[in-house]
Amino acid sequence: MTSLWRPPCPCDVRCLHAAPAQVGAFTALGRALSAAGVLLLGTLRPAGSGRLARSLLRAMGIRWSVVGAPLRPGSLLAGNHVSWLDIVVMMAIDDRIRLVSKVEVGDWPVIGRMARASGTIFVDRSRPRSLPGTVAEVTAALRKGDLVQVFPEGTTTCGAHPARWRPAFLQAAVDAQAPVQRFTLLFSTAAAAFVEGENLLQSLRRVLRVRGLSVTVLVDEPQRADAGRRQLALRLSPKRLVALGGR
């Protein structure tokens, strides 16, 4: 079921037609065991979500980098959504970031606990009438000087076909008179994407097999929220992202 509140994913397994270079089964198993060890240690010896996220990415053999403008406190970070990995990557790049995520993520194994610990603001998409209250929560966080990150597409894409930005959470920046910083997640291969027709376990298995998986977070300069939310969405929404390597 899709709606304005539950936008459809425009991508499916056909977007993953070109298989990237893969590691062997033993290496993939080693990555899985290393990731499990990181998560177990994080449970026994609680650490910050950012530190745990960075350790998890390293365990899975994923390299990451951030380029562009520095993140400004009190900004609304808005960008493309490719995968469940995005949540881990955004936690890893800056401990101050508070995510806005669908409420189901809070129930995911491990990632849900990390999200809750980092102060994630959850959106209940089964209750559209709750949206104004959630936007107000984001507005209050921005006014406090928090860095709040949203995925305006409302769904994941392979990266080559960005979805239209939904303007709802841009209203928080307008109300708080907070700057908006657009970011772009650029994965080295579309194999990182979480697409229609697959589950989390299938995606995880594929990610663990990719050789040399990397992601670059490109951060734009802050822009004033000096227009209505729809105008901001049109202005900031990318028409097409840089094609991912290894497609």
* C-alpha to C-alpha distance for 53 and 5, rounded to whole angstroms: 29
- Domain assignment present for residue 37? The answer is no
- The runs of H, that is alpha helices, within the chain are 25-44, 49-59, 85-93, 111-117, 131-143, 170-176, 200-209, 229-236
Range of the domain at 217: 64-198+212-236
Question: In this predicted structure, what is the pLDDT of residue 218?
Answer: 95
The secondary structure of 146-203 as a DSSP string is -EEEE-TTSS---SSSPPPPP-TTHHHHHHHT--EEEEEEEESSGGG---BT--HHHH
- Domain assignment present for residue 224? The answer is yes
- Domain assignment present for residue 242? The answer is no
Tell me, what CATH number does 76's domain have? 3.40.1130.10
Low-confidence stretches of the chain (pLDDT < 70) are: 1-12, 14-15, 17-19, 42-47, 159, 161, 239-247
Count how many domains the chain has.
1
- Domain assignment present for residue 81? The answer is yes
- Domain assignment present for residue 22? The answer is no
- Domain assignment present for residue 94? The answer is yes
Question: In this predicted structure, what is the pLDDT of residue 245?
Answer: 47
Question: In this predicted structure, what is the pLDDT of residue 246?
Answer: 43
pLDDT tens digits, one per residue of 2-42 = 444 556 666 667 667 666 789 999 999 999 999 999 888 76
